[in-house]
Amino acid sequence: MSYNRVPWLRDARISSALNVRMAGPNAIEWPELDIDLEIDSLKHPERYPLVMKHSPLDAI
């Protein structure tokens, strides 16, 4: 899997990236990294553009 598809894993420790588990029938999660992904987003990334949403608490 390319970092282009899951950029959140790029700077993760290997042990954290390998700690992955099913989060229901259609999702996987990396609990140490606070990442949850639907399996469909890995099969069909064109349906899920990477968009960062800013929190109201973020400094502008």
Domain boundaries, the chain: 7-43
Structure tokens at 15: 């042990």
Q: How far, rounded to the nearest angstrom, does the alpha carbon of residue 59 sit from its chain's CA centroid?
A: 23
Choose between 15 and 54: higher pLDDT.
15
* 15 three-class SS: helix
Instruction: Give residue-wise pLDDT tens across range 21-60.
Output: 999 999 999 999 998 989 998 888 888 876 656 666 765 5
Q: Provide the pLDDT for residue 5.
A: 73
Query: Tokens 């894993």 appear where?
Result: 9
Identity of residue 43? K
Angle value at C-alpha 17, between 12 and 20, nearest 5 degrees: 145
Q: Provide the pLDDT for residue 45.
A: 82
Kindly tell me if the per-residue pLDDT of 4 is higher than 80.
Answer: no
